[in-house]
Amino acid sequence: MTGLINKRIILGISGGIAAYKSAFLARLLVKAGAKVNVVMTQGAQAFIQPLTFQALTGHPVHTHLLNPEAEAGMGHIELARWAELIIIAPTTADLMARLATGHAGDLLTTLCLASKAPVHLAPAMNQAMWQHPATQRNAQLLTELGYTLIPPAEGEQACGDVGAGRLPEPETLFSWIDSFFKSSFFKNSFVESNQPEPAKKLGEGLRITITAGPTQEPLDPVRYLSNHSSGKMGYALAAAAVEQGATVKLISGPVNLAIPDGVHCTHITTAAQMLEACEKLRSTTDVFIACAAVADYRAEAVADQKMKKQANQDELILKLVKNPDILATMAQATVDTHKPRPFCVGFAAETQQVEDYAQDKLVRKNLDAIVANDVSDSSIGFGSDENRVILFTRAGECIHRDPLPQSSKGVLGQQLLFKLLVFYKEQQKS
Ligand code: C5P
């Protein structure tokens, strides 16, 4: 059963070849009982006729901002107030740029400014256009402004290129919209009301703890063991969690990043300190995301004084002992109902057999979800500004695989958090 009966959706369409897929999406939405008003830009009408959508939705299609006839029917402000969700599929690079700068030169951009409904954008364009720093910067800006970006799919494009930038299939977009309406946060807000109010954010009322960055394990007063983690992914998740209205605690190893606004950060150096900080927060954490690259081993003994190079010694053997597994400790089942186990999310940064190792950790560490990424590819992962991951979620025996295309860590953080919180809310209900 879908949760779309009588939901009021504006389906915005801008001018891309993928506009034809939106006809299938409109049909799926209408079939599921949603009330759909379609708004098309001029560019969209070059690809597909408004009449197609009128026939599919049973409503005239909105195409102009300053059309006296249309304004006499449902005016643009009325339409903006009517919507419970605005989804724009496809969203072109040009529309992204216009939305990112707050333009209101046509009906669709005006609606996005005038409406209090959440706006979800499904970017679709040539892969080089999607990767362009200007588009990525706009994507980042849009997420900061509160828009939700639906990750573009990867594969062969209409222009013959291969890469990220395809509009996801209509069924994928439909299930995205369905999950959005199904998640209980939305039900509590204005779905049952005739008077639209701003939607409640996904993270409202939730306490999210995130670990980020590397740990440093001292050998002596001047040396340590560590890794290349920049902390960017964890910090992006923390910023996204604040945007979603959550109370966010970050436990961070040493990194060169500014603490995102609204985030409370505890700075730590070693894995033992990170564990202590996490355990303190365990009983007041609803969602725990372990993004830190924790050193697996530490020196058995830390020298009091700087270790001196020995003239007659060509080798130095260090004895290391295993660090505690912070994530597995947080994810342990608990019998004390006053201290419930948080919903636990791990990261699996691997250089080979990425998916197998990730799924193994998901089960072995008793996690609810794991984010797998291939750090052997230097364009993504450690230190890079971009990432490409596969999200695995687990409900009992059932593991769901959800690949997300390469994008900036800021955008990916927002997409991951959205998906994790929708899954979390669904798990809470069942
Ligand atoms: O076992 P592995 O280190 O590959 O697992 C990675 C995941 O476990 C990450 O989410 C990482 O933050 C977490 N982890 C941890 N404590 C450790 C080692 C890893 O929380 N000692």
pLDDT of residue 72: 63
Is the pLDDT at 7 greater than 80, yes or no?
yes
The CB of 292 under 6 Å from ligand 1? The reply is: yes
Q: Is 196 touching ligand 1 by the criterion CB < 6 Å?
A: no
- Residue 244 is part of a domain; what is its CATH number? 3.40.50.10300
Q: Are residues 285 and 157 in the same domain?
A: no
Ligand 1 contact, 212 CB (< 6 A): no
Probe target for ligand 1 pocket from 275, 289, 325, with the most ligand atoms within 8 Å of CB: 325
Number of domains the chain is built from:
2
Q: What is the CA(318)–ligand 1 centre distance, in A?
A: 22
Report the pLDDT averaged over residues 35-40.
97
List 159, 278, 291, 344, catalytic entry: 159
Q: What CATH number has the domain bearing residue 60?
A: 3.40.50.1950
Q: Which amino acid is at 307?
A: M
Q: Quick check: CB of 210 below 6 Å from ligand 1? A: no
Q: Could you give the CA distance from residue 380 to residue 83 in angstroms, rounded to a whole number? A: 37
Task: Identify whether 194 is part of a domain.
Answer: no
Note down the domain range covering 136: 8-182
Q: Could you tell me if 297 and 344 lie in one domain?
A: yes
Q: What is the pLDDT of residues 137-176, one digit of tens each?
A: 999 899 888 898 888 887 777 778 878 889 988 988 898 8
Q: What is the pLDDT of residue 261?
A: 94
Is 69 inside a domain boundary?
yes
Mean pLDDT, residues 59-73: 79
311 domain residue, yes or no: no
Atom of ligand 1 nearest to the CA of 291: 12
- Choice from 275, 291, 323, 326 to test ligand 1 binding pocket (greatest atom count within 8 A of CB): 326
Any ligand 1 atom below 6 A from CB of 224: no
What is the distance in A from the centroid of ligand 1 to the CA of 371? 12
pLDDT score for 183 = 64
Question: What average pLDDT score do residues 285-307 get?
Answer: 97
Q: Indicate if 15 and 138 belong to the same structural domain.
A: yes
3 state SS for the chain: CCCCCCCEEEEEECCCCCHHHHHHHHHHHHHCCCEEEEEECHHHHHHCCHHHHHHHHCCCCECCCCCHHHHHCCCHHHHHHHCCEEEEEEECHHHHHHHHCCCCCCHHHHHHHHCCCCEEEEECCCHHHHHCHHHHHHHHHHHHCCCEECCCEEEECCCCCEEEEECCCHHHHHHHHHHHHHCHHHHHHHHCCCCCCCCCCCCCCCEEEEEECECCEEEECCEEECCCCCCHHHHHHHHHHHHCCCEEEEEECCCCCCCCCCEEEEECCCHHHHHHHHHHHHHHCCEEEECCECCCEEECCCCCCCCCCCCCCCCCCCCEEECCCHHHHHHCCCCCCCCCCCEEEEEEEECCCHHHHHHHHHHHCCCCEEEEEECCCCCCCCCCCEEEEEEEEEECCEEEEEEEEEEEHHHHHHHHHHHHHHHHHHHHHC
**Final residue in a domain of this structure, among 140, 166, 182:** 182
Q: Are residues 116 and 254 in the same domain?
A: no
pLDDT above 90 coverage of the chain, percent = 67
Nearest atom of ligand 1 to the alpha carbon of 296:
21
Confidence of residue 397 (pLDDT cuts 50, 70, 90): confident
Please check whether residues 109 and 69 belong to one and the same domain: yes
Q: Among 28-37, 178-187, 398-407, whose mean pLDDT is lowest?
A: 178-187
Q: Is residue 307 in a domain?
A: no
Does the Cβ of 290 fall within 6 Å of ligand 1? Answer: yes
Check whether residue 267 and residue 346 sit in a common domain: yes
Per-residue pLDDT of 328-359, as tens digits, reads 999 998 777 666 899 999 999 998 999 999 99
One domain for residues 322 and 414: yes
- Asked whether residue 262 is assigned to any structural domain, the reply reads yes
Residue 422 confidence class, pLDDT cut points 50, 70, 90: confident
From 148, 182, 216, the end of a domain falls on 182
Clarify whether residues 253 and 360 are in a common domain.
yes
Residue 198 lies in a domain: no
Q: Are residues 217 and 173 in the same domain?
A: no
Question: What is the distance in A from the centroid of ligand 1 to the CA of 346?
Answer: 7
- Is 408 among the domain residues? yes
pLDDT number for residue 184: 43
Across all residues in the chain, what is the average pLDDT?
89
Please indicate, yes or no, whether residues 31 and 164 belong to a single structural domain of this protein.
yes
C-alpha span between 376 and 388 (Å, rounded): 12
Distance 189 CA to ligand 1 centre (A): 37
The neighbouring-strand residues paired with 210 are 250, 289
**Count of residues in the chain:** 430
| Pocket of ligand 1 contains residue 325 by CB under 6 Å | yes
> What's the mean pLDDT in 63-72?
76
pLDDT tens, residue by residue, 245-287: 999 999 999 999 999 999 999 999 999 999 999 999 999 999 9
Q: Are residues 298 and 381 in the same domain?
A: yes
Same domain, 25 and 89: yes
Q: Is 361 in the pocket of ligand 1 (CB under 6 A)?
A: yes
Query: 271 CB less than 6 Å from ligand 1?
Result: yes
Q: Is the per-residue pLDDT at 43 higher than 60?
A: yes
CA 263 to ligand 1 center in whole angstroms: 22
Domain-embedded: residue 191: no
Q: Whose CA is nearest to atom 5 of ligand 1?
A: 348
Specify the pLDDT at position 70: 67
pLDDT digits (tens, 9 = 90+) for 90-144: 999 999 999 999 999 999 999 999 999 999 999 999 999 999 999 999 998 998 8
Distance 148 CA to ligand 1 centre (A): 29
Q: State how far the Cα of 48 lies from the Cα of 160, in Å rounded to an integer.
A: 21
Contact (CB, 8 A) for 202 and 185: yes
Q: Kind of pairing, strands 386-395 and 369-374?
A: antiparallel
Whether residue 197 has pLDDT greater than 60: no
Q: Is 398 a catalytic residue?
A: no
